[in-house]
Amino acid sequence: MKPLDCFHCGEPVLTDTQFTTCINDKEQPMCCPGCQAVSKAIIDAGLTNYYKFRTEPGSKQTALVPEELCTFSAFDLAEVQEDFVHQDSDTSTVSLSIDGITCAACAWLIEHKLKHVTGIVKIQVNSTTERALVTWLPEQIKLSAILNQISAIGYQAAPYQVDEQELLSKQNSRKFLLRLGLAGFATMQVMMFALALYAGYFTDLEVEFRDYFRWVSLIFAAPVVFYSAQPFYFSAIRSMFSGRLNMDVSVSIAILGAYIASCIATINGNGEVYFESVSMFTFFLLLGRYFEQNARQKASVSSSNLHKLVALTAHLITDNGAKETPAKGLKVGDIILVKPGEVVAADGHIVDGTSSLNEAMLTGEQMPVCKTISCDVYAGTINIEQPIRVEVTAVGQEQLVAEIIRLQESASNNKPRVALYVDSISNYFTWTILVVAALTYVVWKIYWPEDAFWVTLSVLVATCPCALALATPTAVTCATGIFTRIGVIARTPGVFEKLTQIRHVVFDKTGTLTCGNLKIESTKMIAGTDEAQVLAIAACLEASSLHPIARAFEPYRDPKLSVEKSQNHIGQGLSGEILGQVYRIGSATFVGVTDITDNTEQAIFLANESQVLAQFSLVDTIRSDAGDTVKQLKKIGCLVSIASGDTSNHVEEVANKIGIEDVNKGLSPEGKLQLVRRYQTQSNVAMFGDGINDAPVLAGANLSIAMGSGAAVTKSSADLILLGDKLSRYTDAVNVAKLTEKIIKQNLFWALGYNLFIIPLAVTGHVLPYVAALGMSASSLIVVGNSLRLLKVRL
Amino acid sequence: MSIIYVLIPIAMLFVLIGIGIFFWAVKSEQFDDLDRQSVSILFDDDKPVNTETKHSETKDSTPS
C-alpha cells in the first residue's frame, strides 16, 4: 500500500490512521499529534478555507515542544517589553517574526485566527517578510496569550528588534518607489506633449499652442527634476566633496542644465526645450536604482528576522524563592536558576546541580557537554537535563558571546574591499565627459555662439552614462533574483565579483559538511534478540530525554511501549522499566561493558538487568551533496580544506569520505582566523561556517558563506547564506556569478562603445538633443534587455 | 482648438489624483507584500457562526 501523506504538512504518515482530523466531513490522515492538534485548532476556529487556498503544505509540527520552551510569560514583563513593544495611550504594538509561513494562506490564517480574539485591535501579517504587526489592548489580553494563540495553529512567533540598517533600507526603498512612480506618471504626460511638439514641426503648429504645450511640459517636468532626481544631486555633491567624481555628477549637470535651459527657452519663447529628455532620462535611471535597492532590502529583511530575542529573562534566586527577572537586570554575584530547556541568561559558574549543556551556539558542536559544580557556563547555551543554579560572573559586554562578536567586528574592519568595476571607471569617465562638454562649449561659443548651448547639452545627454550606470545594477539585480530562486541570499554588495575570484574553499565540519544531527549508523546485536524490538525499547527509554542522542532514536518509537520509573543519569545514560524489565541505555561504563572492541566515539549500549543487549553506533550524517560539491569545486580549480574545532577522528573520517586532503582540526576561533589569513597570502579564500565560533573567521575570509540552519550571529556576518542547507548551491552560485560577470562586461562594453561612437557626432553638432535622448534611452534599454537574459538561466 | 486650454488642465487634475492615489498606496504599505494582497480577495470572510465557536475554543485552549 502506498503510504499516506499527512494532510497538514505533506510528509509521509508512518503511524497509519492513528491521528486524523475531520476536515470538510472527511477524516484526513495526520502524521503526528502535533499536526493533528494544529489542524484541529484551525478547523475549530472555522478557518477551513486555509486548506482550500494554500499553495504550499504547512510546516511539520515535530514532537510537541517541551513545556518549558512553550511558555511565553517572559514576554509579559514590563522591563522586557520596553525593548520591542511600542506603547500608545491605551494600546501596545509589537512586531513579530513568524516561523513557518509558507504561502499567502498562512498569513490569512493567522490574521483571521487572531482578529476575533478579544483585546486584539489590529493584526497585519506580511507573507513576504514573514512578519506580523499586532496592536492590542494590554488590559484585556497579554502578549504571551497572543503568542500562544499563534502557536496553537502551528506557527512560532517571537518579537524581534528591527536593526537600524533594515529600517533605513525600508524607508529608502519606499522613497524610491514614490520618486519612481512620480517620475513615471510625469514622463508619460511630458512625452505626450513632446509628441505633439514634434508633430508640430511638420504641421506648422501655431506659436501660441506650442508655447502652451511647453508651459504644461515645464510644470510636469518640475516634480521630476526637483523631487524624483534628488538622490542624484546628493550623491553628486557627496562625491565632489570626497574629491572623486561619480556618474551622478554628469547626470545632475545634464538634468539641471537641460531643465534650466528649457525653462529659459519656454520663458523667452525661442530655442529648444528638452523636458521629455529630462523626464525620461530620470525615470530610466531611477528604475535601475530601484531594482538594486529592492534586492538589497530583501536581503537585509531575511537576516534581521534571525535576530530573535533569546534569554530575555532569568529566574533570580531571592530569599523568597525564584523570581522571574529581565536578563539585562542581572548583576555579578546573583544566583540564577536555569531549568531544563532554558537558555542560560548570563556567563557564570554552576553552584548547584549537574546537567549537560548544548553549546552548539558557541562551538557549532551539537553534542552536549556535561557540567557540574564550579564548571563555567556561557550565555546563550541551552541547559538540557536537570535544573542548575548558576552564579553570574559576567554580564553584558563582558560575556563570551559579546567577546566573539567584537572579534568578528575587528576582523571585518580589516576586510579587503574590492572596488566595483564601475566605481573606478566612472571617475575617469565623468572627468572625460565634463572636459569634453566644456571644450565643446568654448569652441562653439567662439565660432557659432548661437548653437553653443544646445550642442553642449546634446553632448551631456547623449553621453549620459545612463547605460553605464545601469550596466552593473541591472545585471546584479537579475542575478540576485536567481539567487533567491535557488535559495542563496547575498547579504553584501560585491559578492558576485568575489565569487568568481575564489580559489580556495575552507569548510567547517559540524553543521556545514555534516547535518549536525546524529543518526544510528549500525546496530550490533550482542545477545541474540530481535533488532526491531531492541530499537523500540531503546527509543522508548530515550523518549523522555532532550539529548541529541535521543533524537536519533525517534524514528524507531513504538507507541505501544511505555516506560516507567524513568531515570536520567547525567552524562551517562538513562534507565527505566519497560514491560516489567529494567533496562539501561548509555555509555559503556554506565551499562557495564568492559571489552570495548569498536573504538568509535559515539557508541552507546543497551542492557537489561542480566546482560548487554546491543551496541548502537551513532554518526553525524554527512550532507548528501557534500562529496559532489567537493568534486565540483576541484573541477573549477579550487583548493579545498577543512578547519574544524573538533578534535576527534571523526574529522578525518568525514574528510576521507568526501575527498578532502587538507585537514586542520582542534582549532580555536582565533586559530581558524590565522589559518585563513595564511591561505589568503596565496589566494582568495571562501569560508563556510555555521556556529558562532565561526563568526570571526567568516568576517576575515574574502567571502563567507553561512548555512541556513546556523547561528544567527554567523548569518549576520556572512556574505552569502545558503538556505535549504544544500552545499551544491554554492557551485550554482559560482556559475551564476560567472555569467553575471560576463554580462556586466558585455554591458559595459556596449555602453562605452555607444558613448565613444556618439561623442564625436554630438561634439560636431550632428545630434539634436531629442535624438540624443532617444539614443541614450535605446542604449539603456539594450543594457537592461541584456541583463534580463540572466533570468532565463536554468540550473 | 482652444478647447485644449480647458481639457489639458482637466487632464492634469486627473494625473494629480492618480499620483495622489499612488502616494497613498505606497504610504499605506500596499506594495510591501505583493503575494498577500493579490490573493486576499479569494478568501471569504468568516461566517458569523464560526466566531462563536471560536470564542469557546479560545476559552478551552488558554488554560492548557
B14 touches chain A (CB under 8 A): no
pLDDT at A165: 61
Backbone angles phi, psi at A385, to 5 degrees: -100, -55
| C-beta atoms of B58 and A117 within 8 A | yes
Question: Residue A383's Cα: distance from chain center in Å?
Answer: 27
What gap in Å lies between CA A562 and CA A540, rounded to an integer?
Answer: 6
Rounded to a whole number of angstroms, the CA Rg of chain A reads 32
pLDDT at A709: 64
- CA angle A143/A709/A715 to nearest 5° reads 85
- In A, minimum Cα distance to B39 occurs at A104
| C-beta atoms of A128 and B33 within 8 A | yes
Contacts of A734 (CB under 8 A, 6+ apart): A499, A500, A502, A636
Task: State the best of B58, B62, B64 to mutate against chain A, taking most chain A CBs within 10 Å.
Answer: B58
B64 touches chain A (CB under 8 A): no
Give per-residue pLDDT as tens, A361-380: 666 566 677 888 888 888 77
**Pairing assessment for the beta strands A388-394 and A335-338 based on DSSP bridges:** antiparallel
pLDDT at B17: 95
Residues of A in contact with B54 (CB under 8 A): 44-46, 116
What gap in Å lies between CA B33 and CA A298, rounded to an integer?
Answer: 12
pLDDT at B3: 87
Give per-residue pLDDT as tens, A403-414: 665 555 544 443
Backbone angles phi, psi at A196, to 5 degrees: -60, -40
- In B, minimum Cα distance to A298 occurs at B32
Q: How far is B3 from chain A (nearest CA, A)?
A: 11
Helices A275-304 and A769-788 cross at an angle (nearest 10°) of 30
Residue A585: closest CA among A562, A557, A614? A614
Give per-residue pLDDT as tens, A161-176: 666 666 777 787 888 8
Give per-residue pLDDT as tens, A278-296: 887 788 778 767 766 665 5
| C-beta atoms of A126 and B33 within 8 A | yes
Task: State the best of A70, A108, A131 to mutate against chain B, taking most chain B CBs within 10 Å.
Answer: A108
Residue A718: closest CA among A702, A737, A735, A733? A702
Residues of A in contact with B4 (CB under 8 A): 209, 212
Contacts of B3 (CB under 8 A, 6+ apart): none
Q: How far is B23 from chain A (nearest CA, A)?
A: 6
A41 touches chain B (CB under 8 A): yes
Q: Are A528 and A627 in contact (CB under 8 A)?
A: no
Residues of A in contact with B26 (CB under 8 A): 174, 177-178, 181
Residues of B in contact with A220 (CB under 8 A): 12, 15
What gap in Å lies between CA A311 and CA A343, rounded to an integer?
Answer: 6
What gap in Å lies between CA A759 and CA A766, rounded to an integer?
Answer: 10
Residues A133-147: what's their mean pLDDT?
A: 84
Neighbours of A410 (CB within 10 A): 11
Q: Considering CB atoms only, which of A127, A216, A219 is closest to B36? A: A127
- In B, minimum Cα distance to A116 occurs at B51
pLDDT at A47: 76
Q: Are A446 and A455 in contact (CB under 8 A)?
A: no
What gap in Å lies between CA A413 and CA A700, rounded to an integer?
Answer: 9
Give per-residue pLDDT as tens, A562-580: 777 777 777 677 888 887 7
Whether the per-residue pLDDT at B1 is higher than 50: the answer is: yes
Task: State the best of A128, A153, A166 to mutate against chain B, taking most chain B CBs within 10 Å.
Answer: A128
Residue B46: closest CA among A8, A104, A114, A199? A114
| C-beta atoms of B26 and A178 within 8 A | yes
| C-beta atoms of A112 and B4 within 8 A | no
* Contacts by residues A633-640 (CB-CB < 8 Å, ≥ 24 positions apart): A633/A505, A633/A730, A633/A731, A634/A659, A636/A731, A636/A734, A637/A503, A638/A502, A638/A503, A638/A504, A638/A505, A639/A503, A639/A504, A639/A505, A639/A679, A639/A683, A640/A504, A640/A505, A640/A506, A640/A507
Q: Considering CB atoms only, which of A46, A129, A181 is closest to B22? A: A181
Q: How far is B14 from chain A (nearest CA, A)?
A: 11
Q: Considering CB atoms only, which of A41, A178, A220 is closest to B23? A: A178
Backbone CA torsion sign across B50, B52, B55, B61: negative
| C-beta atoms of A108 and B40 within 8 A | yes
Backbone CA torsion sign across A15, A16, A20, A23: positive
A103 touches chain B (CB under 8 A): yes
What gap in Å lies between CA B22 and CA A181, rounded to an integer?
Answer: 7
Residues of B in contact with A101 (CB under 8 A): none
Q: How far is A156 from chain B (nearest CA, A)?
A: 16
- In A, minimum Cα distance to B43 occurs at A49
Which comes out higher in pLDDT, residue A144 or A256?
A256
pLDDT at A116: 79
Neighbours of A17 (CB within 10 A): 11
B49 touches chain A (CB under 8 A): yes
Q: How far is A470 from chain B (nearest CA, A)?
A: 24
Locus of grid cell 513593544? A85
Neighbours of A250 (CB within 10 A): 28
| C-beta atoms of A185 and B15 within 8 A | yes
Task: State the best of A40, A44, A102 to mutate against chain B, taking most chain B CBs within 10 Å.
Answer: A44
Whether the per-residue pLDDT at A155 is higher than 70: the answer is: yes
Q: Are A277 and A461 in contact (CB under 8 A)?
A: yes
Q: Are A787 and A474 in contact (CB under 8 A)?
A: yes
Give per-residue pLDDT as tens, A47-64: 777 777 777 777 666 544
Locus of grid cell 505583493? B34
The overall average pLDDT reported for chain A is 77
Q: Considering CB atoms only, which of B4, B34, B61 is closest to A152? A: B61
Contacts of B55 (CB under 8 A, 6+ apart): A116, A118
Q: How far is A150 from chain B (nearest CA, A)?
A: 12
Which comes out higher in pLDDT, residue A689 or B33?
A689
Q: How far is A45 from chain B (nearest CA, A)?
A: 5
Task: State the best of B7, B27, B36, B40 to mutate against chain A, taking most chain A CBs within 10 Å.
Answer: B36
What gap in Å lies between CA A506 and CA A605, rounded to an integer?
Answer: 36
| C-beta atoms of A49 and B57 within 8 A | no
Q: How far is B64 from chain A (nearest CA, A)?
A: 10
B47 touches chain A (CB under 8 A): yes
Whether the per-residue pLDDT at A420 is higher than 60: the answer is: no
Residues of B in contact with A105 (CB under 8 A): 39, 43
- In A, minimum Cα distance to B41 occurs at A108
What gap in Å lies between CA A679 and CA A627, rounded to an integer?
Answer: 22
Banded pLDDT at A469 (limits 50, 70, 90): low
Residues A473-482: what's their mean pLDDT?
A: 72
- CA angle A677/A678/A683 to nearest 5° reads 85
| C-beta atoms of B57 and A44 within 8 A | yes
Whether the per-residue pLDDT at A778 is higher than 50: the answer is: yes
Give per-residue pLDDT as tens, A488-515: 777 666 677 788 888 888 888 777 787 7
For residue A1, give the DSSP letter. Answer: -
What gap in Å lies between CA A155 and CA A113, rounded to an integer?
Answer: 12
Q: How many CB pairs under 8 A join A and B?
A: 96
Q: Are A128 and B38 in contact (CB under 8 A)?
A: no
Locus of grid cell 554527512? A622
Residues of B in contact with A53 (CB under 8 A): 39, 42-43
Q: How far is B50 from chain A (nearest CA, A)?
A: 5
Whether the per-residue pLDDT at A585 is higher than 80: the answer is: yes
pLDDT at A64: 42
Residue A689: closest CA among A395, A360, A327, A389? A360
Strand partners, A335: A391
pLDDT at A291: 65
Q: Are A560 and A651 in contact (CB under 8 A)?
A: no
Contacts of A530 (CB under 8 A, 6+ apart): none
Residue A576: closest CA among A586, A587, A566? A566
Residues A174-190: what's their mean pLDDT?
A: 91
What gap in Å lies between CA B55 and CA A34, rounded to an integer?
Answer: 22
Residue A732: closest CA among A682, A788, A688, A793? A793
Whether the per-residue pLDDT at A672 is higher than 70: the answer is: yes
What gap in Å lies between CA A697 and CA A701, rounded to an integer?
Answer: 6
What gap in Å lies between CA A717 and CA A704, rounded to an integer?
Answer: 8
Which comes out higher in pLDDT, residue A633 or A160?
A633
A182 touches chain B (CB under 8 A): yes
Locus of grid cell 549637470? A253
Whether the per-residue pLDDT at A465 is higher than 80: the answer is: no
Q: Are A133 and A107 in contact (CB under 8 A)?
A: no
Concatenated DSSP letters for A61-101?
--SPPPHHHH--GGGGSHHHHTTTEEE-SS-EEEEEEEET-
- Which of the given ranges, A7-11, A216-220, A284-288, A366-370, has the highest pLDDT on average? A216-220
Which comes out higher in pLDDT, residue A234 or A319?
A234
Residues of B in contact with A177 (CB under 8 A): 26, 31
B46 touches chain A (CB under 8 A): yes
Banded pLDDT at B40 (limits 50, 70, 90): low
Q: Is A310 helix (H, G, I), strand (E, B) or coil?
A: coil
